Homo-oligomer: A and B are copies of this chain.
Amino acid sequence: MPLRILLVEDEAELAGAIQAVLRAEQHIVDHLAEGLGAWSLIRGELATYNLAIVDWMLPGLSGPELCRRLRGAGLTLPVLMLTALADTSHRVQGLDAGADDYLIKPFAMEELLARIRALQRRQPNYRELLLRAGPYLLDPAESCLTVQEAVGSTRITLSAKELQLLAYFMEHPREIIPGARLRSQLWSLEDDPISNVVAAQVRLLRRKLASHGLPSPIETVASKGYRFEPEP
C-alpha cells in the first residue's frame, strides 16, 4: 500500500534519486533539504506521514536532533536515518535520538525499499491487508475493491490514486472531507496548488464504480467537501 513519506536530505542528487524510486513504488513523497522545515511540517499536521527518511547531516537542525524533537513531542512516526559514516559511535547517538533504522550510504535502492517494508511491518497499528466500510472491502495489497451486493459481489481493480483516495474515504466514513484536505493528504505538497486534480480523480473513481453498475457512495456537499456514505 502506498505510504506518505517525508524525505529530508540535502544532497540534491541523492534526494532526487530516492524520490524517483519511492514514487515509482506509488508512495507520496515530500522532500525538504533542511531539518527545521521538516520539523515544522510534521508538527503542522498538514499531512500525516507514515515514514520519515532523514539524513544524518543536515544544515540547521541535524538528523538526530530532529529525531529527538519528534520523540520529545511524543510522535511515534518511524524514522529511517541515512548516514555516510559506518561509525558505530554515531549509530548509538542515532538510536538514542530515537531513529528506528539505519542505512549507510551508499546503499542500493532495493535495500532502502526493503528497509521501508520492514519498518512498516513493525508498526503497531500495521494494517494487515483489508479495510472495510459497509459493503465495501478494500484490499490495498491487491489494489482492488470488492463490493457486497444483494446477490453476490463485484470486484473492481483500482489504480494507485483511486486506491489512495478510496482508502482515505473509507477511513473517514460519513465525514465531510474538504477537497483541500484530500489535496494535502494525498498529493505531494510540491505540486501546483491550483489545479483540480482532486475533482478529476474523484470523478474517475465515481465513474469506475458506476461503470460496474454500483451506486456512488461519494456525495458532494456543496462548497464544503465530499462525504463517503457506506450505507445507501
Question: Which residues in A have some Cβ–Cβ distance to B below 8 Å?
Answer: 24-25, 36-37, 40-41, 43-47, 88, 102-104, 107-111, 113-115, 117-118, 141-143, 157, 159-160, 176, 180, 183-184, 189, 193, 221-224
Partner of A40, one of B41, B103, B221, B224: B103
**Are A109 and B44 touching (Cβ within 8 A)?**
no
Query: A118 — nearest CB in chain B belongs to which residue?
Result: B45
Residues of chain B within 8 A (CB-CB) of A193 are 108-110
**Are B41 and A111 touching (Cβ within 8 A)?**
yes
**Are B113 and A40 touching (Cβ within 8 A)?**
no
The docked-state distance in angstroms from the alpha carbon of A111 to that of B47 is: 9
The docked-state distance in angstroms from the alpha carbon of A223 to that of B40 is: 35
Partner of A36, one of B104, B184, B223: B104
Distance to closest chain B CB from A157 (angstroms) = 8
> What would be 8 A-B contacts, judged by CB atoms less than 8 Å apart?
A40-B104, A43-B115, A43-B118, A44-B115, A108-B189, A110-B193, A113-B180, A159-B222
The docked-state distance in angstroms from the alpha carbon of A70 to that of B53 is: 25
Query: A108 — nearest CB in chain B belongs to which residue?
Result: B189
Partner of A143, one of B110, B189, B224: B224
Distance to closest chain B CB from A184 (angstroms) = 5
Taking A44-B114, A184-B110 as contacts, is the C-beta distance between A141 and B176 under 8 angstroms?
yes
Beyond A24-B180, A45-B114, A108-B193, 8 extra complex contacts between A and B, CB < 8 Å: A40-B103, A43-B115, A43-B118, A44-B111, A46-B108, A108-B189, A109-B193, A110-B184
